[in-house]
Structure 1
Amino acid sequence: MKRFIVSFYVIIIVMWMFSCETRQGSATLELSRDSAELEEQQTPSNTEEYDAITENKFQDALKNPLSTFSIDVDAASYSNVRRFINNGQRPPKDAVRIEEMINYFDYDYDQPKGDDPFAVITEISTAPWNAKHKLVHIGLQGKKIATDNLPPSNLVFLIDVSGSMDEPNKLPLLKTSFKMLVEQLREEDHVAIVVYAGAAGLVLEPTSGANKKAIIEALDDLEAGGSTAGGAGIQLAYDIAKKHFKAGGNNRVILATDGDFNIGESSNASMELLIEEKRKNGVFLTVLGFGMGNYKDSKMETLSDKGNGNYAYIDNITEARKVLVNEFGGTLFTIAKDVKLQVEFNPAKVKAYRLIGYENRMLKSEDFNNDKEDAGELGSGHTVTALYEIIPVGVESEFYKIDDLKYQTTQVNPSANTSIELLTIKLRYKKPDEDVSKLIVHPLVDDNIPLANTTDNFRWSASVASFGMLLRESEYVNDFAYGKVIQMAQGAKGDDTEGHRIEFINMVKAFGSTASADGH
C-alpha cells in the first residue's frame, strides 16, 4: 500500500512539472511572437515601386529598319541609383533606366546656330564592350536662353504634406529645395502654393517673386500629417494655374512628393487620364521626388510623362541645387515639346541594331508623323543623348543569329549599296505653344574613327551606359568589368566644374569593389 501511495505522488509531481514546462514553453513562444511582431512594427517595410523594364534586343535592319522613340530629359534614375549605392545597397534592376543615367550629365555640345531650338550632334566608333560592334552617339543641344530673357512664370508649388512626408529627407529637404528655387525668381514671376494631405488646400495666393519673404514664410509653416489626397491636390493646382494663366509665359505646376498617393485619384491609370486632360490647357508639369522606403517611382514617372513635363529625384541638398539653381532654365522653361526621333538604318551597311535604354519611351513607326501622339519636352540649355549599338553587315555576332525567311525575301534598294550613309536620323518637334510639328533630317556616315580618338562626350556617355548595363546585368555587356568603366570615364572626365563626373567615378569604384567581393 505504501509503495502505491509513493508511486501516486511521484506521478502527480511529474505531471505538475510537465505542466509547468508546457506553460513556460507557451509563454516563451508568445514572447517570441510578440518580439517578432514588435520588430516588424519597428522595421519599416520597403514598398517602393518601379515599372518593369525589358532590355531592348537587337532588331533586323532589313526587316525592321525604323526605330522610333520619344526623347527623355529626366535624370531621376541616376540620383535614385546613387542613393541606393551610397546606402550600401544594389539598386533594383528596374530602378536603372540607362538613358536617364546618361542624361544626368552635361555634354559639351555646340549651341544651335539656325532657327531650330536645338542642334543635332552625331558620332560613331567601336562599342567599348564589344569590338565587333559599333556604337552610334546622337546628341541634342537645346538653345540656352538667358534668365533675363525667359518669359514670366506662373508657378504653382503642389506640395505633399501627408504623414509619409514626415521624415528628414522628405518635407524638410523639400522646403530647403524650394527656398533655393524661390531665390531665382524675378518680380514678374508669380508663385502659388497648394498642399494636400487628407484634403487639398491653397495656402498661398499667387505672389510676386519680388516678395520672397512671404513665399518662404509660407513654406516654413508647412507641417506633415494625415493621408494623401493626391488627386484632389493635382486638380486644385491645375485650376489655380489655369485661373492665373500667362499667355506666352511659363505656366507650370511643380509637384513635390514621395509619390505615395492613397486617397482619391490614386491609381496610375486614373492619374494618367487626369494629367492628360489638364495638359491640354497649356500648363506643364515638373515632378520632384523625395524620400525612400515607400517611394513610388513608377507613379512619378507616369505623371511627368503624361503632363508635358520632367522628373527629378532629389536625395540631398546638392542635387536640389543642381536641379533648381544650376539647371533652372532647363528644368522650368520648355523650348520644344513632343520631340520624337526616328532612325532609319541602311540594311546594306547595318545587319542589326538596338537602342540602349529608352525602353519605356518607344513609339510605333506611325506615331512619328502623328502630331496627336505625345512625346518628350526639351528645356532651355538641356542636352539629350541616345546610343545605338550596331552589328555591321558581314559581322558574325553571338547576340544576333536568325535564319533566312523561307517564303519571302526583302529587297534592298540598289541605291543603298552605293550610299555612304549608315543611317538617317529624323526629328520632329513642336514649339511650346503650337500643335503642328516641324521635321529635321540628319544623315550619318561612318568615318571609322578609333575609340581612342572620339570626343569626351562619346566616351563618357559610353562609360555611363556600360555601368548601367552592369547594374542591370545585361547580356550584352560581355566582360566589360567595373575597372574598364572607371578607366574610360577617367579619360573622358573633361573639365567637370561641378564635380558630378568625379562623383560618378568614385561611386563606380566603391560599388565595383563591393560587387566584386560579392561575386557580382
Structure 2
Amino acid sequence: METHHIRWPRATRPRAALIALLAAAGLLTGCSAGGSGSHSSDGSYGEGRLPAPAPAQSQGSGEQRGEQDEDGTAREVAPPPDYLSTFALDVDTASYGYARRSLADGRRPDPSTVRPEEFVNSFRQDYERPDGNGFSVTVDGARTDRRDWSLVRVGLATRSTGQSGERPPAALTFVIDISGSMGEPGRLDLAQRSLDTMTDRLRDDDSVAIVTFSDKAETVLPMTRLGDHRGLVHDAVDGLEPTFSTNLGAGVETGYATAVEGLRRGATNRVVLISDALANDGDTDADSILDRIDGARREHGITLFGVGVGSDYGDALMERLADKGDGHTVYVSGEDDARKVFCDELPQNIDLVARDAKAQVAFDPETVAEFRLVGYDDRRVADDDFRDDRVDGGEVGPGHTVTALYAVRTRSGADGHLATASVRWLDPGTRAPHERTGQLETGSLDGSLWTAAPRLQVTAVAAYFAEALRSGDERHRTLPGDPGPTDLAQHAADLARTTEDEEVRRLADAIDRAQRL
C-alpha cells in the first residue's frame, strides 16, 4: 500500500492554510451537499463540503517549489497538501478466484498474483443502487483496534441488472484456447459445457462467433445471429479438441478481426477470451498484443472479457490484457464458478453503463493525517487526469459494485468533514461525462470495525486476508488493525453464519486452508 502523509504549508495555522489553499485552487466555488455520517449522493452541490479538485490542482510531491518575489529574489515555498487519491475503476475478481483455487490445491498463491482490490470486489455489497445509468456513491467506515486508525469504505454501485428494461443485442466473439494444456480436466471441457448452456440462454437477436487458437488461430464460426442457428454454435463448441502450443497473441488478434468483420451497430460488441493464458508461442507480450488490436478496440468500442481457467494460470498476462483492453477478468475454478460466470453473469451483464470510469477521493487535511489505498496498484491515475476524459478508465456494466478500502489515520481530536468521494464516467453511447459524489464525517467512525455492518466487516476480512497472502508472511502485514490469523478466521466464520452467504463461507474456508499451509 502507498501511504500518503498530509502536510501543512509552513508557517500557517491549519484552518487558515486550508481555506487559503482551497480558495487559491478554486475549490470553494462549489461544494457537495451532505450531512454527517455516511452518505450516498446524487451529485448535487451545496455549502461546506470539499468536492473533487479541479483538473489544475496537482498532487504534492513533498519537494519544495521555487517561486520569485516581486524583486525577482528566489524563495522556497512548501507544496500543497497531498490529500488526493485517484484510480480507474476495476471490477476484476480473477485474483481472488485463483488464490482460492491454489489454496484448495494445497499451496499458497504466489504473492505477485494477489491483488487486494479483487478480493474485496468478489463479494456482494449493500450499497444503494441508482435509478438509471451511472453510479451511486456510498462512503462509510469504522475504527480499528489501532489508535487513530480507521478503515473507510468507498462504494460505487450501478443499477440492478434488467432495471432499465431491455438490453441491446449482443455480438460476442469467443476466443477459445485449445492448446495442449487445455486438455487438463476443468479447462476446455468445462468451457465447452458452459458455452453450450449459455448459448441456450442468449436471445434470438444475439450473435456469436467462435475463434480457436493453439499454435495458430482460426475462425471456426463467423458472426452468426442465433435465431434458428443455435445448432451451429453447439456443433462448433462440441467439436473443439486440445492440440498444440499456445499462441495467445494470434488468438486475440484473429478474435478482434472476426469481431470487427461481424460488428453490429447498436449492439454490445465484446471479445470473450477463455484461456489458461500460458502463452508459449508467437507474441507473448501483452502490450505488443494490445498494440496490434488497438484500432479495433478504440474505433469500434469492442471490450474484452477474460475468463481464466486451470491450476496453472498466466495471471499477469490475462490481467494486463483486460486492464488495457477496456475489460475485466474472472477466474473459473469449477462447475459452480462456470455456471455463475457463463450462465448468469455474462448474459445478464452484456450491456455497459459506464466507460472510462474513474474515482477520486479528497481527504480533508484538517481531520486526516495520512491515508493508504488498499490495492489498485496497477490502476492509479494522476490526480490531474481525473477530469481528462481522454485518459483511460474502467468499463462497468449493470449489477456491479466497486469498492475501494482506505486505511485512514485521523488527527487527534479531529471532528467534522473527513472525505469526499467522486466518480466520473462517460455515457457508453453519447460519451457525455457525468459525476456523482458522496461524503463522510468523522462522527461516522465512532463504532468499532467488528461491530459494524456485516458487509463492511466482510470487506475488511477480505482485505486483511489479501494482505496476509501478499506479504508472504503473516507476521508482516501492513494494514492497520490486523486481528491476526486466528481472530481473522473466527471473524470470517462468524460472518458466514450471520450473512448466510455461500461466498462468505467460501472465504472462511480459504482463510482456514491458508492457516494450515
Q: TM-score range by the shorter chain?
A: 0.7 to 0.9
| Residue 319 (structure 2) pairs with residue 301 (structure 1) | yes
TM-score of the pair, normalised by structure 2: 0.79
Residue 127 (structure 1) aligned to one of 144, 148, 156: 144
For 1:183 and 1:327, the matched residues in 2 are separated by 14
Question: What residue number does 2:456 align with?
Answer: 458
SS at match of 2:483: coil
Compute the displacement of 1:298 (Å): 0.8
> 2-side partners of 1:213 and 1:483: how far apart?
53
Radius of gyration: which is bigger?
A: 1
State the identity as a percent: 32
CA distance in 1, matches of 2:176, 2:321: 15
1:429 aligned onto 2:375: no
Find the counterpart in structure 2 of residue 57 from structure 1: 3
Query: Cα 1:464–1:479, aligned 2, differ >3 Å: closer, same or farther?
Result: closer
Distance 1:224-1:133 versus aligned 2 partners, 3 A rule: same
CA distance in 2, matches of 1:455, 1:108: 9
Look up the match of 2:439: 443
Q: Which amino acid aligns with 2:291?
A: L
SS at match of 1:427: strand
Aligned to 2:378: 360
CA distance in 2, matches of 1:472, 1:260: 22
Structure 2 residue aligned with 1:282: 301
| Cα distance change, pair 137–61 in 1 and its aligned pair in 2 (3 A) | farther
Partner of 2:311: 292
1:191 aligns with 2:191: no
Counterpart residue number, 1:317: 335
- Give the match's secondary structure for 2:378: helix
- Secondary structure in 2 matching 1:77: helix
Q: Is the 8 A contact 1:329 1:380 kept in 2?
A: no
- Displacement, 1:235? 2.1
Aligned residue runs from structure 1 range 466-505, under 5 A: 466-473=464-471, 474-477=477-480, 480-493=483-496, 499-505=502-508
Counterpart residue number, 1:206: 223
Q: CA deviation at 1:131?
A: 4.4
Q: Which whole-Å CA distance do the structure 2 matches of 1:159 and 1:248 have between them?
A: 25
CA contact (8 A) 1:197 1:227 kept: yes
**Alignment partners' CA distance in 2, 1:429 and 1:169:** 37
Partner secondary structure for residue 57 of structure 1 = strand
Q: Is 2:67 the counterpart of 1:69? A: no
Matched residue, 1:101:
119
Q: Residue 327 of structure 1: SS of its match in structure 2?
A: helix
Say if 1:196 and 1:232, in contact at 8 Å, map to a contact too. yes
CA displacement, residues 94-117 of structure 1 (integer Å, 9 cap, x when unaligned): 11111101111111222213x442
Which residue of 2 is the match for residue 405 of structure 1? none
The aligned runs of 1:245-260 (5 Å cut-off) are: 245-260=263-278
Residues 495/322 of structure 1: CA separation in 2 closer, same or farther (3 Å cut): farther
Residue type matched to 1:464 in 2? A
CA distance in 1, matches of 2:442, 2:275: 46
CA shift, 1:209, in A, is 3.3
How far is 1:349 from its partner?
Answer: 0.2
**Residue in 2 that maps onto 1:146:** 162
* Equivalent residue number for residue 48 of structure 1: none
Question: Is structure 2 residue 102 aligned with structure 1 residue 84?
Answer: yes
Unaligned regions of 5+ residues in structure 2, if any?
9-80, 472-476
Moved more, 67-76 or 235-244: 235-244
Shift of 1:494: 7.1
Match of 1:177 among 167, 183, 194: 194
SS for the counterpart of 1:80 is helix
Q: 1:475 to 1:171 in 2, by over 3 A?
A: same
Task: Provide the C-alpha distance between the structure 2 equivalents of 1:433 and 1:224, rounded to a whole number of angstroms.
Answer: 39
Contact 1:124 1:446 in 2 (8 A): no
Letter in 1 for 2:447: P
Deviations 1:461-517 (A, max 9, x none): 0111111112123233565212222333344447756611111112212322x15xx
Partner of 2:288, secondary structure, is helix
Distance 1:282 1:331 in 2: 16
Contact 2:454 2:499 in 1 (8 A): no
Match of 2:512 among 506, 509, 514: 509
Matched residue, 1:136: 152
Moved more, 376-385 or 437-446: 437-446
- 8 Å Cα contact 1:163-1:227 kept in structure 2: yes
Distance 1:277 1:205, change over 3 A: closer
Question: Greater relative contact order: 1 or 2 (C-alpha under 8 angstroms, separation 6 or more)?
Answer: 2
TM-score by length of 1: 0.79
Q: 1:248 to 1:317 in 2, by over 3 A?
A: same
Q: Structure 1: give runs of 5+ residues left out of the alignment.
A: 1-54, 396-416, 516-520
- Offset of 1:158 from its aligned partner? 0.6
- The amino acid across from 1:135 in the alignment is L
Q: Number of matched residues?
A: 435
Deviation at 1:276, TM superposition (A): 3.6
Q: CA RMSD in A?
A: 2.2
Counterparts of 2:315 and 2:271 in 1: how far apart (Å)? 18
Which of 240, 261, 275 is matched with 1:222 structurally?
240
Question: Which aligned pairs between 1:319-338 and structure 2 lie closer than 5 A?
Answer: 319-328=337-346, 331-338=349-356
Distance in 1, matches of 2:293 and 2:500, equals 37
SS at match of 1:360: coil
